Each structure stands twice: as structure tokens, then as C-alpha cells.
């Protein structure tokens, strides 16, 4: 998933990821470049320091893994609802 919101990963997008992922029971990991973190931890996500245009790789394992990845992917694709509606 490519980050399209101008500010990249900062507190608000990390919160949206964690809130979305928290609705599911599966284990969730997010990777950017050579770093991978727990996608259900806002503090760990913030350590990715991913700017706009960075590529996030989403991985989940568990009973609802596909649904979890799809839900988070949608949040990322929407630019965390931070995009200017023009």
C-alpha cells in the first residue's frame, strides 16, 4: 500500500490503523522498508516514520486475517480521510 496522504504516518493515521485493526482478532504486522512492527500498537507504528509515497506492507495471521488487511488497506487508500476533497 502506498501512503498518499501528504503527511505520511503520523499520530492520526497510526490511530486510524490501530483502531481499525483492533476490531479483528488476527495478529497484524505492518512493514516499511526494512522495519516491521505490530500493527495494533500506535507507538510501534509511529516508529516507522513513513513519509508520503512510502510503501507499507500489511500482513495478518488468524481467522479474520483477510478481512483485517482489507479494512486497513481501505483506510490507507482513502488517505486516512486527510485528503483535500477537491
Catalytic amino acids? 10
Which ranges of the chain does DSSP label H, i.e. alpha helix?
A: 11-21, 42-46, 65-77
**Strand, coil or helix: what is 60?**
strand
Enter the DSSP assignment of 22: T
Residues 1, 56 contacting (CB under 8 angstroms) = yes
Amino acid at each position: 500500500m502506498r501512503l498518499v496522504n501528504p503527511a505520511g504516518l503520523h499520530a492520526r493515521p497510526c490511530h486510524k490503523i490501530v483502531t481499525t485493526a483492533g476490531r479483528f482478532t488476527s495478529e497484524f504486522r505492518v512493514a516499511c522498508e526494512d522495519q516491521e512492527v505490530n500493527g495494533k500498537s500506535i507507538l510501534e507504528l509511529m516508529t516507522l516514520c513513513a513519509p508520503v509515497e512510502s510503501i507499507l506492507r500489511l500482513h495478518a495471521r488468524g481467522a479474520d486475517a483477510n478481512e483485517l488487511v482489507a479494512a486497513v488497506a481501505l483506510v490507507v487508500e482513502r488517505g486516512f480521510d486527510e485528503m483535500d476533497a477537491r
